[in-house]
Amino acid sequence: MSRRTTVEPSVLYRVALVPGWVASLAVVAPFLAGVSIPPALQYAPLVVSAVLLGLPHGAVDHLAVARTRGERPDWRAIARVFALYGVVGGAYAAAWFLAPAAAFVLFIAVTWFHWGQGDLYALRALADADHLRSLPQRVGTVLVRGGLPMLVPLLAFPDWYRRVATDLVSLFAPDAVAAIGWAFRTDVRTALAIAYGALVVATLAVGFTRADARRPWLLDAGETLGLLAYFALVPPVLAIGVYFCLWHSLRHVARLLLVDDDATAALENRDPTAALARFARDAAPLTVASLALLGGLYFLVPNPPGSVPEWVALYLVFIAVVTLPHVVVVSIMDRQQGVWV
C-alpha cells in the first residue's frame, strides 16, 4: 500500500506522527491547568497555516497522482488536476455565493470525511493497523476520526461553533445563518453525542477483537481517545488550527514524501530535513498562487472581512473551496494504494 517498508519506521513517526502528539499535549495542558488563552491568540495557528503546512499540504496535488502511480508528472497529468480544481472548486465557490448555509454544511461534511480519510491512511500505511480488516471497519474509522475535529467541538463548544459558522456564512448572506440553527439545538446535539459515542465504542471494540498485534490497536485507541479529550477541552478555533497544521497536514505531507523518489531516498538516508525541503520546494509555487486567489476572493464576497475572525472566516471559505477537489485527488491516491481494500 505504501513504500514505508524501505524507510525506518522511527523516521516516519518522527516526521508524521510525533509532532501532532506533542502539539496536542502542549495545547491541552494549559486548559487542564485552568489557564485561559485570549480569544484573539486562538486564531494564530489557523493564520499561520496559510503558509505553514495547512494550505501548502494540498499544493502538491498536481504532482501527487502521477507520482502515486509511479509515473513522472508531465504537462497532461498536471493539466488534468488543474482542470479538476477549476471545475469542482469553481462550482463549489459559486455555491457559497448562491447558498452559503448549504455550502457551510457541505464544508463540514467534506472535511469530516477527508480528515478521517487522512487518519485511515496513516493507521494503515504508517502504523500497520492490521485490525482494520473490513470495509465497514474502515468506514467506521473514517467517521470516528473525522468526527473528532468536526463533531466533538460542536458538542463541547456550541457557542464557539455557532460563532465560526456565522462568520463564514455572513460573508455572503447574514440572514442565511438561521438555516443552520437546527444543528445547535440541545436535542440534536444530544442525539449526535449518543450516536457518535456508540460508534466510537463499537469501532474500537471490533478492532480489538480482530487485532493480531496489539500495538497498532493501542495506537488507534490512544489517538482516538486522546483527540476526544483534546477537542472536548480546547476551544475549537485553537484546537482545529493546531490539528490542521501538525496532525492532518503533516501526515499528508509524509504520504507525499513516500511517493516522491528523491524524498523517499532522503528518508531512507535518515535525512527528513532534505525530504521536507523538497516538499517545500514543490509546494511553494501553488501556495503563493493560492494566497493570491485568496486575496482576490476578498474583492468578490458581498461582505468583505474587517476583523481577524472575519479574515479567518474568509480563509476558511477558500480552504473549503480547494478541499473538495483535494479530496478527489486524495481519493485517487487511496484507490491506487489500496487504502480501502
Task: List, as residue ranges, the binding site.
Answer: 57, 114, 248, 252
CA–CA distance, 134 with 8 (Å, rounded to integer): 27
Q: Do the beta carbons of residue 130 and residue 211 sit within 8 Å?
A: yes
Q: Per this entry, what is the length of the chain?
A: 341
Alpha-carbon distances, residue 121 vs 34, 259, 301 (angstroms): 35, 14, 36
Cell 463499537 locates to 202
Residue 119 DSSP symbol: H
| Whole-number CA gyration radius for the chain | 20
CA–CA distance, 264 with 267 (Å, rounded to integer): 5
Our measurement of the distance from residue 21's CA atom to the centroid of its chain's CA atoms, rounded to an integer in Å, reads: 15
Helix (H, G, I), strand (E, B) or coil at 306: coil
CA–CA distance, 191 with 180 (Å, rounded to integer): 16
Q: Do the beta carbons of residue 20 and residue 250 sit within 8 Å?
A: yes
- Residue 304: how many CA atoms within 13 Å on its side-chain side? 8
Q: Do the beta carbons of residue 235 and residue 157 sit within 8 Å?
A: yes
CA–CA distance, 184 with 169 (Å, rounded to integer): 15
Task: List, as residue ranges, the binding site for Fe cation.
Answer: 57, 114, 248, 252
Helix (H, G, I), strand (E, B) or coil at 218: helix
CA–CA distance, 292 with 44 (Å, rounded to integer): 20
